[in-house]
Amino acid sequence: MESTVFKYSKKITRHPNFRILEFKDAMYRGLVDPETRLREGKGVMVYESGRVYEGEFVNDVREGHGYEKYDNQNIYIGYFSKGKAHGKGLYTWANGEYYEGEWHMG
């Protein structure tokens, strides 16, 4: 994986709720709620465009601590709420500039 947000290892792939889900333009590898089949817990979402999200999901949405590398190579590491950057985080632009601080819903 690209970040150190969590260790994606054989241990997680042996978890009974581990699944690989295919979407139109992306693939998810991680934990899934066995009843709803929604992303729930730690996982990795890799898009065809090169975008990557590694972190936590709640009810199929980015929630909690995560790492996101965008198509343009900018990177955000921090907290998410309802799928958006929210709380403490570090955003680094591909040119090396960065902002570290509080985010409010993106």
Domain ranges of the chain: 10-103
pLDDT given for residue 5 in this prediction: 66
pLDDT given for residue 20 in this prediction: 95
Check: CB of residue 43 under 8 Å from CB of residue 37: no
Check: CB of residue 79 under 8 Å from CB of residue 88: yes
List the chain pLDDT tens, one digit each, 106 residues: 666 666 666 778 899 999 999 999 999 999 999 999 999 999 999 999 999 999 999 999 999 999 999 999 999 999 999 999 999 999 999 999 999 999 998 8
Q: Cα(58)–Cα(49) distance, rounded to whole angstroms?
A: 24
Check: CB of residue 23 under 8 Å from CB of residue 32: no
The CATH number of 10-103 is 2.20.110
